Structure 1
């Protein structure tokens, strides 16, 4: 209980600092007239509709192979599985929750694996085909080229992370199916995911800026859109048909909470969490 509570306190403290900083920045913009005399425009890349990026199917293959392998191994191993399965492990790798063998308990992680795969593939597709490009009006050509590469890189990173998540679930399932007890169990599950996250952050950090070499500055700037960012974090714009938009800071994208399709994604996440709770903790 102490670790989750400390994480919540840390997140709350971080957001409190962010909220205060965002409030001060907005006040400074208004007081200083940051956008007075500046032409604000929205730059678009029409080629994203006529020539959209290709979905990286080869990057999806590892996740699909691992998921299929998990299903096959589970089906073959089911008759020889212990009558009582360890469905949860503690921090030291010791089982702290047991359940009688059944389809629901034995294949609980497989169901979650399939759900996570479908969800992240959908998000990767949304990044490529339903996200709003963040094109700099001052250097539209170079910014558009960079954004196309950045979207594809984001989709590949997400699919790579998905493969590591599926691999971690395969390892966790094998521990449960064989009744193996090892102090290294938490590391077997966490290390593949942490490694994938670390690699993605490093790659994104090295490709987080567009090159404007050789392109003349147009003198234009982004349209001020503070009114659409609730509390500085949540983008809500019903007139924007994009499902995902670039985050205002850091890496990646965030949902447009003004788009009705966002409710479908959130419902999928809630259903996935409910599936985990039902299969892993219901006895």
Structure 2
């Protein structure tokens, strides 16, 4: 119970901190997912919404934490603590959306793009000389997955006849199934599927269409190549740490080990990797490589392709992955049919794991 509570508080704190700092690490020309000219990045309307947004997020975080702790003390149900994290995420989007709408209204009322020369920039060298896929960064995930599979094969004869496939808040098994290949190696299958999935996402990032600044085309193209490479490496590092957590969870199951710290075996490596990934991407996200270059052009006003400021839907754009409008990393182009296929693959992987772990 203590481990689950500590983990929930850490996760809640990380989500709250991330929500507070996101406006500072997002490109200044897309505050809260709204495309604005560079000269309007520090407009009083934008500055005011950043301040209001942070106050709202802070209050929502304190309320979510207080309610979660209160219910936990009253009922002892540790599930209520992680649920408070989900509630905070929902409240965060509400805070984001309110700021998004206010800035869109200010942009429309002030005709911020009127009289400006809009344009786009394209790095044509991405087709002939794209950034290289970081194969060495994929190696740790592959090695950990292979080591997990080999260890499972060696331990299989001596495994308990009944395997614990889930641990409760106190570290005690609360779901058990008869030993079988499907149940024993369920997390190995997850490792294989997740490693393949995120490696494919890293490859998609390498081939993604960058959002170049037409005012600084050369500098932003150099920055984009660097950021793409950093992002792909960070994603592959993240999947390696997830695989490491699953190796620890598999060992608990295979050896029949019971410990109240079981929830941390999987969560700590993943949380550490998430924090490192966020820090690395944040350090590289805001600086877009201007270097004094200025063509006099500004970004196109392309808000119509972004629903709610976060979801990109453009059927005419063949890109599967595009830079995220607000926050860090990339997002799917939901107008591309391959996005639906990708989500279907994720759902199928989850369903397969549930069948193996519940059905044995």
Query: Into which bin does the TM-score normalised by the smaller protein fall?
Result: over 0.9
Task: Say whether 1:174 aligns with 2:251.
Answer: yes
Residues paired across the two proteins, number: 281
- Aligned partner of 1:32 in structure 2 is 110
Partner of 1:162: 239
For residues 215 and 93 of structure 2, the distance between their equivalents in structure 1, rounded to whole angstroms, comes to 31
Q: Distance in 1 between matches of 2:324 and 2:178?
A: 45
Matches within 5 A, 1:77-88: 77-88=155-166
1:152 and 2:229 matched:
yes
Secondary structure at 1:166 match in 2: helix
Structure 1: distance between partners of 2:262 and 2:87: 28
RMSD: 1.3
- Report the Cα distance in structure 2 between the residues aligned to 1:5 and 1:71, rounded to whole angstroms: 33
Deviation >4 Å, runs of 4+: none
What is the deviation of 1:134?
1.3
Q: Secondary structure at the match of 1:190?
A: helix
TM-score (norm 1): 0.96
Gaps of 5+ in 1: none
The residue number in structure 1 matching 2:301 is 224
1:184 aligns with 2:261: yes
The equivalent position to 1:68 in structure 2, one of 146, 149, 153, is 146
Aligned residue number for residue 316 of structure 2 = 239
Q: TM-score, normalised by structure 2?
A: 0.76
Q: 3-state SS of the aligned residue for 1:207?
A: helix
Residue 102 in 1 paired to residue 195 in 2?
Answer: no
Select 1:48's aligned residue among 126, 143, 158.
126
Specify the alignment match of 2:171 in structure 1: 93
Counterpart in the other structure of 1:132: 209
Give the Å deviation of 1:42. Answer: 1.1
Name the counterpart of 1:205. Answer: 282
Structure 2 runs not aligned, ≥5 long: 1-78
Deviation for aligned residue 1:166 = 0.6
| 1:4 Cα offset (Å) | 4.5
Match of 2:55 in 1: none
Structure showing the higher helix proportion among its residues: 2
